[in-house]
């Protein structure tokens, strides 16, 4: 798999590779005010690191799908709101409202049969926590990426 997700570190102007499959070494990390509830938006990038491949049917989704319940019996209303939008500029409030939590986005193709596309493809995620969510760290969620890898010139 030559497709990776990166976050951009403004402190040192470097792209940091997001860890995968539960390794937890460099996750996409958001911090929320549990008392009042808080929405956090973060810009990320999808990138092909293999010059010999191009990808089709590239899809990205928030898992588990839909509203993810994180509360216990004391906080039954606590849910994560979890959305993805593919674009460079930060989405507006109305653009986020038009998207359902747990949505799936489609990058379609990255590269062609003639050449690989090794550029960073920007997208945004929005993670929202409801007011009254207890203090905790939630790591049972992930961004699920699926694609078909094709050899260039094949």
Partner 1 sequence: MISEYFDVKIRVIFPRITKPLPEKDNAQINAVGNFNYEPPKTVASTSDVIADNDIFIPKTNKEKVENLKNTLSDLENKFEKILKYINKKCKHIVLEYDPNLTKNEALAAAEAELFGYASGAITYDMYEQTVRFQEKIDRYISHLSIENNGRLESVA
Q: Taking a C-beta distance cutoff of 8 angstroms, is the pair 13, 6 a contact?
A: no
Nearest distance in Å: CB 96, partner 1: 17
Residues binding partner 1 (CB under 8 A): 1, 3, 5, 9, 11, 16, 18-35, 63, 80, 127, 129, 133-139, 141-149
Q: Taking a C-beta distance cutoff of 8 angstroms, is the pair 7, 17 a contact?
A: no
Which of 55/96 has CB closer to partner 1? Answer: 55
Which of 84/96 has CB closer to partner 1? Answer: 84
Nearest distance in Å: CB 91, partner 1: 18
Which of 5/96 has CB closer to partner 1? Answer: 5
Nearest distance in Å: CB 87, partner 1: 19
Nearest distance in Å: CB 95, partner 1: 21
Nearest to 39 by CA among 134, 103, 123, 126: 126
Which of 94/144 has CB closer to partner 1? Answer: 144
Which of 70/99 has CB closer to partner 1? Answer: 70
Nearest distance in Å: CB 97, partner 1: 21
Q: Which residue has the tokens 């996750």?
A: 27
For 99-120, give the secondary structure using H, E and C. CCCCCEEEEEEECCCCCCCCCC
Structural tokens at position 136 = 């905790």
Nearest to 144 by CA among 103, 115, 114, 111: 103
Q: How far apart are CA 86 and CA 106, in angstroms?
A: 8
């Amino acid at each position: 798999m030559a497709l990776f997700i990166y976050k951009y570190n403004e402190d040192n102007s470097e792209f940091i590779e997001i860890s995968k499959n539960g390794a937890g070494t460099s996750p996409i990390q958001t911090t929320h005010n549990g008392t009042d509830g808080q929405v956090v938006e973060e810009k990320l990038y999808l990138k092909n690191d293999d010059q010999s491949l191009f990808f089709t049917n590239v899809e990205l989704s928030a898992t588990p799908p839909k509203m993810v319940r994180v509360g216990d019996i004391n906080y039954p209303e606590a849910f994560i709101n979890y959305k993805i939008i593919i674009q460079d500029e930060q989405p507006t409030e109305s653009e986020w409202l038009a998207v359902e939590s747990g949505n799936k986005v489609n990058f379609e193709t990255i590269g062609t049969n003639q050449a690989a596309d090794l550029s960073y493809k920007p997208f945004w995620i929005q993670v929202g926590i409801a007011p009254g969510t207890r203090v905790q760290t939630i790591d049972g969620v992930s961004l699920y990426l699926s694609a078909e890898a094709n050899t260039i010139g094949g």
